[in-house]
A and B are shown apart, each in its own frame.
Chain A
Amino acid sequence: MHQLLTAINEQSWTPQRVDTVKADERALDQFLKAVERRALRMADMATGNREEALDLVQDAMFGFVRHYAAKPSAEWAPLFYRVLDSRLNDWHRRRRVRSRWMSFFSSAPADDEMDPVAQAPDLQEPGPLARVAGKEIGQALEAALVRLPLRQRQAFLLRMWEGLDVAATATAMRCSEGSVKTHLSRALAHLRRDLEAHYE
């Protein structure tokens, strides 16, 4: 009986519990605020489309809050990027399937059909990175990043930009630490080659 009453009492809204919930919510809000811009830029580079990128970030935030908000805050960053990475992979998979079907039926494309080439990021158009940096290197870097395969780009951005360690990056990308090192090594090789002219 006493245990039952204690259990019921623990579920009630004591002032301390209200404070705890508010503090948790504040911490979650601050975390999302801290990662939202980088997440959007990653999605920008993956999709080449701001609206699609915003939708993906929204999906990632909802998924993260639904599944991982109760985890310790120290684990939030790799888990959030894990959800985002999953959404980006899904987006690319859907796009590949759509492109395959469209190429199959592309003998007489209707006017209202989506053109996959038109959906691809325009490398000549200076993206936000180049616009902001206002330098040749900014434009070259953005173009080089967009050209990278998704996994290599994610490994580079998570390790070098977001500053996750190898283990956290592996958690985010749902792969082994060895795979992270391989993706990163290849990404650096590609970027080094693409940007070599700017650093000779």
Chain B
Amino acid sequence: MNDQNDFVWIAQATTALDESARDLDAATLSRLNRVRQAALQQKRSRRVSWMLPAGLAGACAMVLAIGVWHGAVREPALPTLPNAELVHSVNWSNGADDLELVANEDNIELYQDLDFYAWLDTQNQEHDG
């Protein structure tokens, strides 16, 4: 055979092979379909099995991060204040203004006499009552 014949028989061969692949019987095609779906299902299962631990790890990381963040907010440099015990009794919900008020050295005498003011307050309440 010459090159021209090579070209012809190879073209005919591939055409015949295409036809043989195209005209497979129904049972074989059904089995191929099931095989393909099973392979794709395997991919889905692998994705789910990967996502579960990743999701748990993500949730743990989130909880840890929130805990660290809250801890950082709740711990200002309190020991530098002259009377740390009193500072702890301050209501933190009032925010930075209260902190400034308490930290101001001009007010040291004021909160040293807090017991007296507390007693005075109870007296006033008794009189009011």
A residues apposed to B, CB below 8 Å: 1, 4-5, 8, 11, 21, 25, 28-29, 32-33, 36-38, 40-41, 50, 54, 57-58, 61-62, 64-66, 69, 127-129, 131-133, 135, 137-138, 141-142, 157, 160-161, 188, 191-192, 195-196, 198-199
- A selection of 27 A-B contacts at a CB cut-off of 8 Å is A5-B62, A5-B65, A11-B55, A25-B43, A29-B40, A32-B40, A37-B32, A41-B20, A54-B31, A54-B32, A57-B35, A61-B35, A62-B39, A65-B39, A65-B43, A128-B20, A128-B24, A132-B19, A133-B16, A133-B19, A137-B12, A160-B10, A160-B14, A161-B14, A161-B18, A192-B1, A196-B1
Cα A4 to Cα B58 in complex, Å, equals 9
Query: Nearest B residue to A129 by beta-carbon distance?
Result: B20
Query: Which of A1, A36, A50, A62 has the most chain B CB atoms inside 10 A of its CB?
Result: A36
Q: Which of B16, B43, B61 contacts A141 (CB 8 A)?
A: B16
Is B58 a contact partner of A8 (Cβ separation < 8 A)?
yes
For the A-B complex, the count of residue pairs with Cβ-Cβ distances under 8 Å equals: 118
Q: How far is the CB of B45 from chain A (nearest CB, A)?
A: 11
Cα A132 to Cα B25 in complex, Å, equals 11
B residues apposed to A, CB below 8 Å: 1, 5-6, 8-10, 12-14, 16-24, 28, 31-32, 35-36, 38-40, 42-44, 46-47, 51, 54-55, 58, 61-62, 65, 69
- A residues near B19, Cβ cutoff 8 Å: 129, 132-133
Q: Which of B31, B39, B55, B58 contacts A32 (CB 8 A)?
A: B39
Is B35 a contact partner of A199 (Cβ separation < 8 A)?
no
Q: Which of A8, A128, A129, A199 contacts B5 (CB 8 A)?
A: A199
Is A25 a contact partner of B40 (Cβ separation < 8 A)?
yes
- B residues near A32, Cβ cutoff 8 Å: 36, 39-40
Query: Nearest B residue to A8 by beta-carbon distance?
Result: B58
Cα A69 to Cα B47 in complex, Å, equals 12
Q: Which of A8, A41, A57 contacts B17 (CB 8 A)?
A: A41
Cα A191 to Cα B5 in complex, Å, equals 12
Is A11 a contact partner of B54 (Cβ separation < 8 A)?
yes
The 8 closest A-B pairs by CB, nearest first: A37-B21, A129-B20, A61-B39, A8-B58, A133-B16, A58-B35, A65-B39, A132-B20
